[in-house]
Every structure is written in C-alpha cells, then in structure tokens.
Structure 1
Amino acid sequence: MTAAAGFQFHARHYGGQPAAIRLIITGAVHGNETCGARALQRLMAQLDSGELVIRRGSLTLVPVANPLAYAKGEREGDRNLNRNLFPTADPQDFEDYAANWLCPLLAQHDVLLDVHSFSGAGEPFVMVGPRNNDGPLEPFRHEQQERALARRLGVRRFVDGWLRTYDAGVRRRIGNSSQLQTVLRYGMGTTEYMRSVGGYALTLECGQHTDPQAPEVAYRAILNTLAFLGMIDAPAPAPVAPGQMEALSMVAVYDKQHAGDRFSRAWASFDEVRQGEQIGRRADGTAVLAEFDGRILFPDAAAGANSEWYYLTRPNPAF
C-alpha cells in the first residue's frame, strides 16, 4: 500500500511455468479506460472457475494498473502513468509509486499486452513498436514476434512510430538543450519500458471509452493472444489478411500552444486530411493547416496548453 493515497496495487498470476513464455496483460493504466479491466475480470472468473486453464507459460493479469485514476474515473491520478514510466528512488506523486510497483513486474515478463480505449469516435487499432534496430532511441530485436501477434488480435488497423514522432516533436520544441534527455523520458510508457528491458509489447486501443463493444474487443484480443502464444488449448487465430489491413505510421505531433487554440470541426481518429486542409485555428487566428495527405490520430479538443493536440499519420505499405 502506498503512503501517497492508500490504494493497493494488485496482480493475479496463473500457470507459472518459468521455462515457457511469460505474458503480462494490463488494464486501466488510464482510469477512465475501463474496457481492459472489465475484460480481465471476465477472464479471471473463467480461470478461477477452471472453465479456462493456462496450460503452458506464465500469465500475470493487472486489471487496474492505476487504482487512484480508476477510483476517480479519470485519465490520471496525479499525472499520466503512461508517460515518464521509470522507477524512481524519490517518488513525488501517485504515479511514481505506481511505476515503482509496475516496472519491476513488467521486467519479469517477456510479452506485454496493454489494453486502452480513446476519447473520440473511431475504430479499434493496435500500436506496435519499431523495426529491429541498434539505434540510441529505442533499440529492439523482436519485430517479427511483435508484429505477428499484432496481426492476430482481431483488429485491422496498425499504427507504428510513436516514440520517434514524439522524439521529433521534442527536438522541434527545445532543440538539443540540456533538458533534452529529461523531456524525452516523458515519451516512455508501458510498452516502451517493456521493450527497454528486453521484451516486446503492444498497445491495444479498443474503441471509444464508453463503446459497449470495447470490452468485447479487449476480451477477444486477450483470448487470441493466449491461443497464439500456445498458453491455452485453443486453435491459433489466423492473421488478418493483407488485403483487409490498414497500416499507418505516425509522422508528426502538433501541440496546443494556447488554451484558445480550437479545431475547425470535431475530428475523430483516422479521419482523412488533405494537404493544406484547415485543421484548426490558433488563439491569434492563425490557421493550422495539414502539411501532407494522411489521417489524423488522437485529436484532443480538451488538451491543455503546451500539450499534445493531435498527430498526423501516413500509410505504411511496408508493415
């Protein structure tokens, strides 16, 4: 129990065969994103009753990764848990305590499925990591395994490029100042941390927060994951067919510079935009125009000043 707020962190373990794969599934990293918690509670009832059995490997379930935010019914407790996710010797807020509990737990596993939802209307999708690389930003060596799992979750949209896009946005704002590494740490969330300790990870976005189908999307994806990894006695799910999938790469992030900045209309994730199309207006009346043809992602009309406002993506035929 943390001294910060009196909430307990809770995980449930099943199987426990250390020689096989170790999977962790998290829900409610953001407290108003409840589909993962609901799907995992449903799964735990089946596992506890013996209706479903983990035959191979080790499974850890964390239905509520951020109990303070979950109790509040809000995205954050004190801050965004899915940013600047690192252990700290001097915790300053509730999410620091959560990170000190969650990060060592993640490091004990090979694979993470992190279940989320989003505020606007839109179709479910999965966010994947980088290509295999030895670069300084996000070195990685599990591209094939990660993308193979992504194709079997039951969604048809795939998005990559989060950390490199965030990195480019930071460098655009502050250049190569002495604050660069500190600010870049803010781009690290659950999946980035998992990759940093040698595993692979996916962020599943199950639809709009209150969509009644979102928990079902989450539950289906969880069962598909267990079957694909050979952890339960079930047929392996087929991958989404190439002709049915849409792969996109995040290219640019745009900040709300002033509280008075406004969108030109109610954008939803994956709405198409054309180069030169007006996306919004700054508080001083300056038009904000699309720099290229693509799709908008995570438009946040309620964003605060100096925070992420929206992203633009481009098709990625090489996914």
Structure 2
Amino acid sequence: MKPIRIHLLTLTLLLSTPLLHAAPDVLLSESSVVGTVSGKDVLLSDIENQKINELRIQLHDALQEAFIQHAVGQLTSDSSAYQLPAPVVINDDQIESFYMKNNLQGRGSLEKLGPMIREYMEGMAKARGQIQLYQRATLQGDVTSRLVKPKEMLLKLSVDSAYIRGNDKAQVMVMEFSDFQCPFCKRAQATVKQLIEQYGDQVAFGYRHFPLAFHKEADDAAIAVECARDQGGFEAMHDILFSQPDNLSRTALKAVAKRVKLKDLEQFDNCLDKDTYADRVANDMAAGQSVGITGTPGFIVGFHNPDNGTLEGELISGAQPANVFVSAIEKYLKGR
C-alpha cells in the first residue's frame, strides 16, 4: 500500500483550525456534512472525486489492519483464552511446491528465492492465525469495530458510439479503451475473447479508441476500423490490426480492407483519406480521460443501462489476467 502524503497546506489547516464537532463515526460517510456554504450543508458526496475516494479506502484499510494488530496484541495479553497458535514451520518441500506452482523459475533459482518464499509463507500463516483469533473474539463480543469501509466510487460514462460485442442489452458491461500499436492492448485481446466466450449474452463488451500520442499510426488505425465498421468489417479489421501493430500505414490499412473483403473499397479509401471519423476517435479519447484513463489498455467494468446508454463502474488498468475481470464482472452480475 502506498503511503498517504498530506499536502503541506492541508496539514497547516489541520493544525491551525479547531475541530468543530467530533464525528459520530470513525470515518466520514458519503452523507456526512463536511461544512456549510451560504448556510447550506455540503456533503462529502458533493466534493468527493475518484482520488479522494481511493484515499478514503486506503485510510480505512490501514486503520483496519492496525486495529486488528492492536486487538490481537491486547487479547493475547489480557486473556489465556486468546492465544496465537505456535509458529508454522515451513519445510523445503513446501517451498519447492510453492516455487513450481507459481511459475517462479523465470524470476530466479530456487536457492535464491527460497528464503524469501519461506518468509512469505511463514508470514501468511501468522496472519491467518491472527485473523482467526480476531474473528473469534468478534463473534464472542470481545471485539467491536466501528470502521466502515467506504463504497468504491463508480465512474460514470456514456456508451456513446462504442462498438459493442456480445449482448448490447446486457445489464453488465466491460468497456475497453485501446490503441492498435500498444503491445499490452494486443496482449489483452486474448483475455477479452475468453471473457466474451465465457459470459455470452450476460455481458456487453464495448470498444472505444485511445490512440496514444507517441504511436504515430494509431490514429489512422482507429479511423480505419471505424470506416470498416460502416460496411460490417469492424471485428475482422480489429483482429488483423492487433496482429500487425508494426504495419499500420495507410497503404497497409487499405490492403487490410481488401483482405477482409469490404464490399466498397472506394468508399473505405475515401473515408480513411478524409479522416471521416477523426472526431469520433477524439471523442473516445476525451471520454476515457474523463474517467481517469491515462494509458492503455484501460477498462471500465460495471452496470450498463441500455435504455439511456450509460455505464457506471470501476476502472481496471492494464492487461490484467482474466481472473481480475471475472472477479469484477461477477460482482456486478450479482448486483454488487
């Protein structure tokens, strides 16, 4: 967890301004009044943004961890009924098994990584013992916590002109922002295809453009795919362009249009030459930036409202493994 750094001005205000009231809860909630302006209450929800939300969650997690540590220490000191189990001894066979199961061969030899694996496994065993003790004390009423984890702030986004695969009426959507010259975007395509096959009509999969400035041919590639879309060739061209990220010149793009057998190649060529969909690509970029996407690939996973064409969800950055997406998708399928 990254350390929380308090801005100097904020610290000065905290030290110089008297606290008006003690909050009834340990942490502010979305409905907490943080102040008044012109006699009107200002709620935390009125001023909270994504960064503030992330910091609130980090603060909660740090406080929760510290509270558990404190509670376990005090319980084991105060009562013989609460004692931690003896330290777990990790043997060489367990270390080797962990090394092989987690495919750590590429990170170093077993001899080199063995001590770190042992320390990690012993630490995890100790943490499990502490959590089990804490949970037992909670059930018996010897520990109570007033910490309430803040809800993750959902990002709001218009589906707009996104290309949709899967069921466009699905209540859950994965919206991708990608760049055809981005190697990590190329890597993510196998995961996206896997998810489309896995979820079928349960999930809508949207695609929008986010060509990075230092990828000189990415804009043209994005426009070309939109031109192909006019003739039903979006997916075919999309797949080919991701397979040849180093060959996206306008000549190459026109050759791909012929390869995917677009019916009207003259129409495609004119569309590309006139940058017909440059505004659409720019709009996609602006939409991605508005929800905090700064690099590619970026995904928003969340609730989809097909009636008004909106998406509310959370940001997943980078070419993450499939299980990261599955965890998020399942959460929204179950109604969060």
Structure 1 length normalisation: TM-score? 0.23
If you compute each CA radius of gyration, which structure gives the higher value, 1 or 2?
Answer: 2
